[in-house]
Structure 1
Amino acid sequence: MTMQRRLAIAAAGATLSIASVVVANFEGLRTKAYRDPVGIPTICYGHTATARIGQTRSQAECDALLRGDLGDALEQVDRLVTVPLPVERRAALASFAYNVGSGRLSGSTLLRKLNAGDAAGACAELSRWVYAGEEKLPGLVQRRATERELCEVGL
């Protein structure tokens, strides 16, 4: 394995470690399925893909779901972003994509600014994503402030 490949793997590990802390902090661990603020069945650390009301999961299962879902979110960020990203910015975007979905990231002004080389403008866009439906949620305001702080490291 080349040194470049080893460094890429280490960077991905660092990114996932940082993003995992952010996601776990803001999503919280709920081992029994519930409806999120817009009514979507959710379990564990914000997992929605296979969540069903009445379902329960162990913490180990939830941790595995978080790793898989966050890995998927990071892959989508890497697919969509065409400019190099420092670890912190990549972690912020992985947390963001985990929360809103890569489809919403893909059509966003945030992504357009980032890929145009306007990292500061892209990071500022995070502060606009604080609504669930029509309701501004304090938890999303806090989450986006944390993601923005990470995104702006080094700017």
Structure 2
Amino acid sequence: MKDNNDMPGHLARRFQQIAVAVFLAEVEDAGFDLTPVQYAALATIKANPGLDQVTLAGLIAYDRTTITGVIDRLVQKGLTERRASSRDRRARELEITDEGRKTLRAITPAVEAAQRIMLRGLTDKEANDLMRLLRKAIAAGNELSRAPLREGST
């Protein structure tokens, strides 16, 4: 039987734990209360004004049934708004608020610092190689996920 350190699933889970902890610490130190998923959703809404929740879920590879809670929290924080769609009265479009734009601008240095910290211990070449290999492995397994990343994503 393989040691956990030889299992890609174990290593991916450990890296995810570290990534979330680092993100939360950096963002909290900067005075913000935003999770990685909330940040991804907010940035994606800013880049795609008027998108709906289902499209957002696909763009950030997040489960469609739980994206509602993420959006609820962003709305409660005053960072996004739901509006009736001009194309489909049943659908709700998502828009970033001025407070959401301000938050994204202010939080960017903390998010960038978190990304650097996650890759510390690696040379620039190693970090680039890791990112390239992660993208390759993720692309190959994308459709196996319960929340596959959809085309047109950021």
With structure 2 as the length reference, what TM-score do the two structures score? 0.30
Structure with larger RCO (C-alpha < 8 A, sep 6+): 2
Indicate the structure (1 or 2) with the bigger Cα radius of gyration. Answer: 2
